[in-house]
Amino acid sequence: MNRRDFMTVASVGVGVATLPALRAEAQGVQTWPNLTTLYLDPESGNDSYSGAKTSPLRSLAEAARRVNMITAPGPVTIILKEGVYAIEETARLHPEGRLFSKTDRLTIRAEILPDDPQWDMGRMPTLIHTLPLKKVWDGRFDGAGGTVDGILVEMSHVSVMGLRFLGLPVVETPRAKLLQRVYGISRFGKNHEDLEIGHCVFAGDIVTSPFHVCIIARGNEVNVHHCIFHGVKITVVYWQPETTGHSMTNCVVNGAYGSGVWTSSIDDRYVFHNNVIANSNYVWTWQNARTATGDVTRVPTGAGAAPPPAATPEVVTSRYKVASSYFAANRHMAGSGTGARLGYIDLDPAFLQMENTKVTNMPIEFETDQSKRDYLAPVAGSDAAKVGAGLFARP
């Protein structure tokens, strides 16, 4: 092959490839250019393509495999064009050839984000979970009915921005003692840090597409902001005690049939402000009730079920700070428990230090006009809307 022929082959759709890569392809070995920006398109994409803008991939799982092979330095970005993506296998993020950092991070994002003037809800890339249920979850056998992980984060310094996640179209409890469940974004590594989820919609329906947990994470610095959670069971599980740097800000939770937020231990460094939680079963679930203040009321886990053991109240020296938020028409304020079946016990919410936060039994009105930019957020001009929760960072 002469130099002109080499450059012609190497420049078609993928940029400049290396001669060893071409030789490997000639020998039947699958290789890919070391692209640090990968594009996805559910209509024109193909997982055999390079991932360049003119040659997009089709699935997030394949994009994750490409990220895991990248050795080039600098930030890495996966860009999803608008459309519907069937999540048919877990997108496992586990890079082996390089490290990421706060500045050189991995970003998975929509091509157009909510603050862009050209954005509307219909332009959000939509991810619907269609994976088969697995019997192993978090490294252990799951006998409850099977689980699904949509995006499995096995690394630090990741941002997920501007995507719309839907639940899993199964019956959650088809038979007694079974519980089939989906986890949208999971991070199980206790030493990982810096996971950001922003400007995303998580939507479910207990009948058609139950969404068990939208985000569950161990490790430090789980920061969730400007997200909408609609009709899901549990929004975010901050799953490891004694971790730091967590936050939930400017989020809307409507109709959570489990809990608006789940935390594992009291930490006054946890940042929680400008959130709206309405029409939900519990505003806040705290996994460990042993250090709760006040009386604990036993709540049965189901018809004929024995109540969970009572907690042992102790005096707490720190509290969660809840600032500039709005809680409306929720059935319970605070509860505690473990496990996926919502066998909670009611807690005195004294462990929540309220600052400029309204708690009311009166319902609030949400925008139902799908053509409005604030669709699914509190209606513009209402007291709840003044909190500043929703998809937009800019007013």
Residue 229 pLDDT exceeds 90: yes
pLDDT in tens, 183-227: 999 999 999 999 999 999 999 999 999 999 999 999 999 999 999
pLDDT score, position 298: 33
pLDDT in tens, 12-61: 333 333 333 433 344 444 567 789 999 999 999 999 999 999 999 999 99
Please state, in angstroms and rounded to a whole number, the distance separating the CA atoms of residues 242 and 250: 24
At 318, is the pLDDT very low, low, confident or very high (cuts 50, 70, 90)?
A: low
The tokens of 357 are what?
């936060």
pLDDT in tens, 119-172: 999 999 999 999 999 998 888 888 788 999 999 999 999 999 999 999 999 999
Widest CA span in the chain: 82
Whether pTM > 0.85 for this model: the answer is: yes
Please state, in angstroms and rounded to a whole number, the distance separating the CA atoms of residues 301 and 303: 7
pLDDT in tens, 61-108: 999 999 999 999 999 999 999 999 999 999 999 999 899 999 999 999
The domain made up of 93-387 has a fold known as Pectate Lyase C-like (2.160.20)
pLDDT in tens, 246-302: 999 999 999 999 999 999 876 778 999 999 999 999 999 987 654 433 333 333 333
